[in-house]
Structure 1
Amino acid sequence: MFNYRAKYIWHFFLFTFIGLFSLSVNLMGQQVASLQGQVLDKLSGEPLPGATIFWKDQSARGAVTDAEGNFTIAIPTLPASLEIRFLGYQGISREINNKTTDLKFFLSPDEMALEEVVVSERREDHNVLSTEIGRNEISGETLKRIPALFGEVDLLRGIQLLPGVNTAGEGTTGLFVRGGSADQNLIQIDGAPIYNPSHFFGFFSVFNPDALTDVALYKGNIPAQFGGRVSSLIDISLKEGNTRKIEGEGGIGSISSRLTVDGPLFSDNSSFVLSGRRTYADLFLAFSPNEDIRNNQLYFYDLSGKLMWRQGEQNKFTFSTYYGSDFLGLSGQFGLGWKNWINSFNWNRQVSERLYLDMAAYYSYYQYLIGFNDEENGFDWSNDFSESGIRAALTFIPKEASEIKAGMHTQLYHFSPVDLDPAEGSSIAPLATNPRIGWQNNFFIALKEEVSERLSLEAGLRFALYQQIGNGVNYLYEDNDPEGSGMVTDTLEYRFGEKMQHYQGLEPRIAVRYLVGKATAIKGSYNRNYQYIQVASNSSAGLPIDRWVPAGRYIRPIRADQVSAGIFQNLSDNRWELSLEGYYRDFRNIIDLKQGANVLFSDNVETEILTGNGWSYGLEFLLRKNVGKTTGWLSYTRSRVFRKISGINRGNPYPPRFDRPNDVSLVLSHELTDRISLSGTFIYTTGVAVTFPVGSYVVDNQRVPLYNEQRNKDRFPDYHRLDLSLTLKNKDKGRWWQGSWNFSVYNAYARKNPFSYEFRDIYNNDIAFDRGLGEEVSSIRPGVVMTYLFGILPSVTYNFKF
């Protein structure tokens, strides 16, 4: 059966490829002579993505530079005048007399420009003209203007302010995009995935804003070259260094400091970027009069670097690396640490004036370790997993406004055994689970075509072949049902590389844009995505010890189908962006844990989970202002999320914890003067879905809450918060050092947003009463104790550039 299906799908994929290739050949036969070039910043030598190029008196038919500043434009009758424009830079005109290629154009920043120059990979009217739907961007400069928790600028917290993105609760950086869980987001740095993108148990993300360029969130039409997650793609690029001079920037904040330095490496064809950040909360602990507190440890740090070099005009190579580490130690008795290590190598080659090759290799590693120092119950518990991959893509541009991309992506997942090693004399038994290995091969092809002046089309097809391979074991269960009694009847062992289970999936994707007017577009898209690894966890916030499991004999891959449509309009000569998007997403093979499940130490994870389906739908509104003294956006999302899994909630639909029907975000930044700017954010969301007890009972003189079978039928109170910040730049006295002060207030009106509720007995009407102190108990009553994390939190950060 599998061979027949595989043969059928391969034929379908082959015929599709042949059809698109035939179309490319036909289009290639229609091509005309073209001019190639690159647009660069005159001062730094960095490419300017999104610059506009057109022939004089023919501005309607032009080109836009890509991420490397490159462009290709059809040549009219020569001689002709070529115009190059970019926001915040002085435009230039160049007389072209022959069909010369590989020209470089250097633009100078406009000294008279009132707005801050922000290099972005998009043109002003990109919101309307592109086929992209469900895509949002945040630049590094925008992130730095958003008020921050403890003064720590955070990428993921900035993304939470975009429409369609929810959180699990106060202070966390976990993202829940259009009804998907946190593990359903592909977060990648220079093409390499990162599995735990947070520091401090989710309070901060691992990304240093000084080391980043623009960040793109895809939650609608995900390009065919990306896959492996069903909810969203967050594509992050580390910035390339200045090829002309050494420069740097950094900051000294309330709990951490950071520094980034970049510049030319050997010549103006190569550059480097080095970036580091570390907290120093643990340094202050040493001054505590309490010896137990002095012996505690609490810190995180991260280091990143990027090397770039060009070989001639056709080849560009980059190597990126990131290392981050967290550690929490309590009085030498308990320790918890985790770390990420990511490496990626990218090669971009211009094969010809219309053919481009992109190749990448990466390695992503994650590890955590827990130690408990106790004579009777001491242990060391560790686990790690990794993903290695190679991606190759060919991009062919047969004519202006057309593009064909095809390639492949190979991935190897390795989940090491969970290792529980008891200390000498400990009563805890040792435990080691079996490793799990997944091997996935993906093939993709995509076409972009401007069918007419009003109609544009983007279509893609991705095909994945996934196998769980040895070494490893498959357990056989009574009645072949691990969700039943869970009784193991036999064990199948597999040698290294031997096939244990296979799956395959075809992922069609299509997006259409139709221009109603010059500044108005209607867009629609359909996407299918498969996900072959997922997290089995009873925490929605995302913890360092979450258990990742690959698809196998009993756990099928997740499948998600999404339909979305929207209207997009730019106002006031592209100063304002307005969009309204609606979506419906259908999930298959979603997993959730049984009541009281324990998956951390189990080698039989499939006996602790239940499988079912889900769906989500919503409407997203976004009004955004990108230029002027006042910038920012207003977003509102109305959405619902449901799961339906047999064995949970009596088999009836239920909302997951991150279902928040109403979500409002307002982000504003205003420049009062050249030196003073104000920023503020206001957030309002429906409270998270939870299950409150319906009663209680007493066991061994302790009151225990009683829950019914209904899941998440209750809610926390609505969440809302106002954050404010003021930035004061030092006077510019022509020095090589430029500094500024940022003063932030998190939760400005001291809203007590609940983090948790505890249902327990209250003694003597005092929630802090401790029976262990031996004081007389005069009264006992059942009560509810609310915990909130933050009141008003002021912070100050000194930022600098040189």
Structure 2
Amino acid sequence: MLVISGNATGQEAVYLKGQVLDKASGEPLPGATVFWKDQTGKGAVADIDGNFSITITNTDLPATLEIRFLGYQGISRDINNKITDLKFFLSPEEMSLEEVVVSDRREDHNVLSTEIGRNEISSEELKRIPALFGEVDLLRGIQLLPGVTTAGEGTTGLFVRGGSADQNLIQIDGAPIYNPSHFFGFFSVFNPDALTDVALYKGNIPAQFGGRVSSLVDISLKEGNTRKIEGEGGIGSISSRLTVDGPLFSENSSFVLSGRRTYADLFLAFSPNEDIRNNQLYFYDLSGKLMWRKGPKNKFTFSTYYGSDFLGLDGQFGLGWNNWINSFNWDREINEQLYLDVSAYYSFYKYLIGFSDEDNGFDWSNYFSETGIRAALTYLPREDTEIKAGIHSQLYYFAPVDLQPASGSGIEPLVTNPRIGLQNNFFIALKEELSEQLSIEGGIRFGLYQQIGDGVNYLYDDDDVEGLGQVTDTLEYRFGEKMQHYQGLEPRLAVRYLLGEGTSLKGSYNRNYQYIQVASNSSAGLPIDRWVPAGKYILPIRGDQVSAGIFQNLRNNQWEVSLEGYYRDFRNIVDLKQGANILFTDNVETEILTGNGWSYGLEFLLRKNIGKTTGWLSYTRSRVFRKIRGINGGFPYPPRYDRPNDISLVLSHQLTDRISFSGTFIYTTGIAVTFPVGSYEVDNQRVPLYNEQRNSDRFPDYHRMDLSLTLKNKNKGRWWQGSWNFSVYNAYGRKNPFSYEFTDIYNNDIGFDRGLGEEVSSVRPGVVMTYLFGILPSVTYNFKF
């Protein structure tokens, strides 16, 4: 389509619009660059759907348009007034040792854009990283980026720039997911074969997103091939996966279906130990995506995900959780300058725990959900200007706790009340290139939050919810009746200034409000952590962040280097009282304490994107503190995930067209913990004694190396392509502590069991360290067809 209109100079401006696609699959190529051959200053970058818009004066026609994308053969197209076909299909380049590309972004994007504190990982990069049990993992890959830490061995919880795990908005095609992990945090719920784009925002979060104060992890499921049926999958050490996609009815529609399941429970059934044989341990997930284009201006997608986990120990204990997510998106091009994006979603999370015990048996379960709708208009008045405005409405429903005591159990029945939150957000954002050197991105998000009925508010003696918490009265509210109201203005601003070719300075300021948060007994995050909304006694979290950095590309954009610093301030964060009970109470506000926090840090990233050797080196120097009345004597203390030093090295080397190596090395300061200062005896049992200082001690420093070798089969010309991946987790067998137990050691044997009736000859206080993994090899067969 060519659209011609007059301009101020009297010349006619031609707005050329088109789409860049993969020739083999028909999938869009976001980030493809489009420019005029003799006017390199006039160019455009394709959006997430491969669409672009570029201008030229009518007097310059005919002209030659160049289309380029990393890893693909570029093409040239002569443009004149009679052109009608504006779909450009690019073919992948043959893989060579001298040019292996692992980035789909425009090669100088990190320097030219206003984005600060943003990192991307492609699905291909993820698959190159050595994996635990051979399971390629998205969140574990994100943990290797600067500014992101973990709370311990084997966990996928993200702690970004001093924020806790619940302060990250993790979304799939615009729908939030509340527990993004399988296997108690050892694996994430994201099947890498079903993903296309993954972006981490830890600095300047765009105004259209909100609800969390720490970061945004924006994940997109891939769209299906519109030309032919294809698939990929893998058979691993503990699980297998399969993804199939292709055209649905025509080249205007497609589907993707993906599934994964562990078979650890099948191996348990063959154990000679009856106690192990009767255990249950599994997870599985299913996802799908449908895409339909109605003409050149309308695109519809529907995405769904369901995942389930369960652990059962010989009929005595059970713990499980489920995620179910659905999202619908409609993208419409109103005209060449105006675009509409409408999305609706539903996210459901349920978790349960049960004990089989004659005296204290019970079954406990709970669930909550978020339903939302978002609409945004994007206006492009000029080539270097973008205005976005819209609304985002959210409904939170926190169901009453369902507690069923076992027959004869001493557990008392529990009656709780639902909690409902309604939130409406309005946002407007502007991107403007003021000159060749200076660009800005600004936005404002305004949130209106209400806790509404059906529900109750408890009244306490002298409003003392942090003390004894004695209830004096109860106020009941009908459905829809306002119980509590909060509002907050969230300004965002980012500035980029080019110092010269390949170098820029950036700065940003961000304010975010969070109206729901976790009351957790564990910094690492557990499936039974209880989410609570803001209300009469629980205030919304407010987060303010200032960041600045310098970005540079070297050797014709083969290398990226950046140095970023930040300071973040948290208000109204919660922590639990000592011995708090959050599962068996309707008065959660009496179990928590509220205060403030702050964090600061410096992040360095050196990244190589092109060549036979690719990867990155990151180093983060940071600190995190909290100050909450009633904890640590009112003095600042570090949370468990405070790790001042964090180094990650990720390397991948293509040795031949069939053999590649990869490796990672991680070094971090040990997690912050509280060790006992002594002990005392109760009923002939030694009990540890702790002082008031919280997290004043540390585990030993953590370090680990993982290695991986991929061997591709001779697949040239065959419809089936296979490869073998051999990985070694913790290659040099570092015994990184997972926990310490302060206990009595009998007969100098930490495994001594007094219940066996053997004579006790000696007793001494001791410390028993538990570590999870030694050297852990795995093998996975991956395939494509």
Q: TM-score, normalised by structure 1?
A: 0.95
Q: CA deviation at 1:100?
A: 5.3
The corresponding residue for 1:509 is: 492
1:676 aligns with 2:659: yes
Residues 32 and 399 in structure 1, CA contact (< 8 A), matched pair in contact too? no
Mapping of 1:592-631 within 5 angstroms?
A: 592-631=575-614
Instruction: Give, in whole Å, the separation in 1 of the partners of 2:389 and 2:84.
Output: 25
Mapping of 1:586-597 within 5 angstroms?
A: 586-597=569-580
Moved more, 103-112 or 442-451: 103-112
1:470 aligns with 2:457: no
The corresponding residue for 1:53 is: 34
Deviations 1:106-152, CA, capped at 9 Å, x for gaps: 12223375578768552000010000000000011101110000111
The corresponding residue for 2:782 is: 799
The corresponding residue for 1:201 is: 184
Which structure 2 segments of 5+ residues have no match?
Answer: 1-6
Match of 1:296 among 272, 279, 283: 279
1:429 alignment partner, SS class: coil
1:638 alignment partner, SS class: strand
Mapping of 1:97-496 within 5 angstroms?
A: 97-98=80-81, 103-111=86-94, 114=97, 122-496=105-479
Q: CA deviation at 1:511?
A: 0.1
Q: CA deviation at 1:211?
A: 0.4
Change (3 A) 1:480 1:112: closer
The corresponding residue for 2:641 is: 658
Q: CA deviation at 1:600?
A: 1.3
Residues 104 and 122 in structure 2, CA contact (< 8 A), matched pair in contact too? no
Instruction: Give, in whole Å, the separation in 2 of the partners of 1:571 and 1:477.
Output: 63
Q: CA deviation at 1:262?
A: 0.4
Moved more, 481-490 or 423-432: 423-432
**Which amino acid in 2 is paired with 1:226?**
F
Moved more, 234-243 or 594-603: 594-603
Instruction: Give, in whole Å, the separation in 1 of the partners of 2:324 and 2:772.
Output: 30
1:283 alignment partner, SS class: helix
Q: CA deviation at 1:99?
A: 7.2
Instruction: Give, in whole Å, the separation in 1 of the partners of 2:187 and 2:98.
Output: 30
The corresponding residue for 1:771 is: 754
**Which amino acid in 1 is paired with 2:250?**
S
Instruction: Give, in whole Å, the separation in 2 of the partners of 1:173 and 1:43.
Output: 35
Change (3 A) 1:281 1:129: same
Instruction: Give, in whole Å, the separation in 2 of the partners of 1:375 and 1:650.
Output: 41
Q: CA deviation at 1:373?
A: 2.7
Residues 35 and 101 in structure 1, CA contact (< 8 A), matched pair in contact too? no
Residues 88 and 115 in structure 1, CA contact (< 8 A), matched pair in contact too? no
Deviations 1:310-353, CA, capped at 9 Å, x for gaps: 00000000000000000111112222111100000000000000
1:527 aligns with 2:521: no
Q: CA deviation at 1:102?
A: 6.9
The corresponding residue for 2:4 is: none
Deviating above 3 A after TM superposition, structure 1's stretches of 4 or more consecutive aligned residues are: 29-33, 99-102, 111-121
1:210 alignment partner, SS class: helix
Instruction: Give, in whole Å, the separation in 2 of the partners of 1:327 and 1:425.
Output: 26
Residues 47 and 69 in structure 1, CA contact (< 8 A), matched pair in contact too? yes
1:381 alignment partner, SS class: strand
Deviations 1:714-741, CA, capped at 9 Å, x for gaps: 0000000000010000112421111000
Match of 1:685 among 660, 668, 675: 668
Match of 1:33 among 2, 10, 14: 14
Instruction: Give, in whole Å, the separation in 1 of the partners of 2:153 and 2:11.
Output: 57
Match of 1:498 among 454, 459, 481: 481
Instruction: Give, in whole Å, the separation in 1 of the partners of 2:11 and 2:192.
Output: 45
Q: CA deviation at 1:372?
A: 2.3
Moved more, 769-778 or 215-224: 769-778
Residues 102 and 124 in structure 2, CA contact (< 8 A), matched pair in contact too? no
Q: CA deviation at 1:374?
A: 3.2
Deviations 1:249-286, CA, capped at 9 Å, x for gaps: 00000000000000000000000000000000110111
Instruction: Give, in whole Å, the separation in 1 of the partners of 2:263 and 2:275.
Output: 18
RMSD of the alignment, in Å?
Answer: 1.6
1:88 aligns with 2:71: yes
Instruction: Give, in whole Å, the separation in 2 of the partners of 1:280 and 1:554.
Output: 45
Instruction: Give, in whole Å, the separation in 1 of the partners of 2:91 and 2:492.
Output: 40
Moved more, 90-99 or 273-282: 90-99
The corresponding residue for 1:643 is: 626
Mapping of 1:541-580 within 5 angstroms?
A: 541-580=524-563
Residues 157 and 185 in structure 2, CA contact (< 8 A), matched pair in contact too? yes
The corresponding residue for 1:730 is: 713
Change (3 A) 1:356 1:99: farther
Deviations 1:569-601, CA, capped at 9 Å, x for gaps: 000000000000000000000111111111111
Change (3 A) 1:708 1:30: farther
Mapping of 1:722-761 within 5 angstroms?
A: 722-761=705-744
Residues 36 and 101 in structure 1, CA contact (< 8 A), matched pair in contact too? no
**Which amino acid in 2 is paired with 1:214?**
D
Residues 240 and 273 in structure 1, CA contact (< 8 A), matched pair in contact too? yes
Deviations 1:594-621, CA, capped at 9 Å, x for gaps: 1111111111111111111100000000
Deviations 1:185-241, CA, capped at 9 Å, x for gaps: 000000000000000100100000000012100000000000000000000000000
Instruction: Give, in whole Å, the separation in 1 of the partners of 2:444 and 2:721.
Output: 49
Instruction: Give, in whole Å, the separation in 2 of the partners of 1:678 and 1:490.
Output: 66
Deviations 1:630-660, CA, capped at 9 Å, x for gaps: 0000000000000011111111110000000
The corresponding residue for 1:709 is: 692
1:599 alignment partner, SS class: coil
1:351 alignment partner, SS class: strand
Residues 395 and 403 in structure 1, CA contact (< 8 A), matched pair in contact too? yes
**Which amino acid in 2 is paired with 1:43?**
A
Match of 1:74 among 52, 55, 73: 55
Instruction: Give, in whole Å, the separation in 1 of the partners of 2:605 and 2:220.
Output: 25
Instruction: Give, in whole Å, the separation in 2 of the partners of 1:580 and 1:127.
Output: 12
Q: CA deviation at 1:422?
A: 1.1
Instruction: Give, in whole Å, the separation in 2 of the partners of 1:209 and 1:112.
Output: 21
Instruction: Give, in whole Å, the separation in 2 of the partners of 1:597 and 1:31.
Output: 71
Residues 88 and 113 in structure 1, CA contact (< 8 A), matched pair in contact too? no
Change (3 A) 1:422 1:509: same
Instruction: Give, in whole Å, the separation in 1 of the partners of 2:414 and 2:143.
Output: 39
Instruction: Give, in whole Å, the separation in 2 of the partners of 1:683 and 1:438.
Output: 41
2:141 alignment partner, SS class: helix
Residues 66 and 121 in structure 1, CA contact (< 8 A), matched pair in contact too? no
Moved more, 146-155 or 290-299: 290-299
**Which amino acid in 1 is paired with 2:733?**
A
Deviations 1:746-778, CA, capped at 9 Å, x for gaps: 001100000000001111111111111111111
Residues 373 and 379 in structure 1, CA contact (< 8 A), matched pair in contact too? yes
Residues paired across the two proteins, number: 777
2:335 alignment partner, SS class: coil
Instruction: Give, in whole Å, the separation in 2 of the partners of 1:634 and 1:113.
Output: 24
Instruction: Give, in whole Å, the separation in 2 of the partners of 1:269 and 1:121.
Output: 24
